[in-house]
Amino acid sequence: MTSPRPSPSAASVLDLAPVLPVVVLAEVADAVPLARALVAGGLPAIEVTLRTPAALDAIRAIADAVPEAVVGAGTVITPGQVADCRAAGARFLVSPGWTDALLTAMRASGLPFLPGVSTTSEVVALLERGVREMKFFPAQAAGGTAYLRSLAGPLPQALFCPTGGIGPDNAAEYLALPNVVCLGGSWMVPADAVAARDWARVEALARAASRLTRAGGTCR
């Protein structure tokens, strides 16, 4: 088994970048050129989701060949996956939801992590467990910017990376919220561009996304 890689210097996933590309890779061969295109476009933090059999090998390939990238694992839903992702070289973890067992495993990994929430009760439960930084998923379906804005008053200590249904048309609206520090999206890695291996297009979309600025996180 590959020895675990060191953690990134950032203590928080939210500190890595204002926009976190959410990547689904069916072919390991696409991992390195895709990562290089995203880095060249100004988005060094990359979330590779565990939605395909190629995901762990893709994380390993990026970690080995693109040291300037900060590659992480998304769609992490079991403690076993936490260990596998760390061994593959993942430098942060993102989950769509959480349980106590998963939360314990992510903490024990020593990696920055974002557990997913979509309700106020889940946010309060994580705050009770000492977790302030969360993924809000599925963002648009769960209430979007109106919901997050409503949480900022009673729960200002909670900070979010919304993901799901976010694109260039509404990204700035999310980043303007006081409790949003970064956001996740896949619009800079469209499936047709990846299938065509059009890395120049990916780089251009990444460069446009990297110009977004975050106004949130004022309660950090």
Alpha helices in the chain (DSSP H): 31-40, 55-65, 79-88, 100-109, 120-128, 144-152, 171-175, 191-195, 199-210
The C-alpha angle with vertex 53 and arms to 13 and 210, in degrees rounded to 5, equals 35
Mean pLDDT of 184-195: 97
Question: And the tokens for 65?
Answer: 């060949």
pLDDT number for residue 14: 82
Question: And the tokens for 178?
Answer: 């006081």
Q: What is the pLDDT of residues 133-152, one digit of tens each?
A: 999 999 999 999 999 999 99
Which amino acid is it at 98?
A: W
pTM summary value: 0.92
Residue with structure tokens 């509404």? 170
Q: Which of 124, 152, 153, 123 is nearest to 135 (CA)?
A: 123
Which amino acid is it at 50?
A: L
Res 217 pLDDT > 60: no
CA distances to 151, 154, 159, 182 from 130, rounded to whole Å, are: 17, 17, 12, 20
How much of the chain is in helix, strand and coil states, percent to nearest 5? 40, 15, 45
Q: Which residues pair with 117 in a beta bridge?
A: 136
Q: What is the pLDDT of residues 61-115, one digit of tens each?
A: 999 999 999 999 999 999 999 999 999 999 999 999 999 999 999 999 999 999 9
Q: Which residues are the active-site residues? A: 47, 135
pLDDT number for residue 4: 38
The Cα–Cα gap between 126 and 137 comes to: 15
The Cα–Cα gap between 81 and 75 comes to: 9
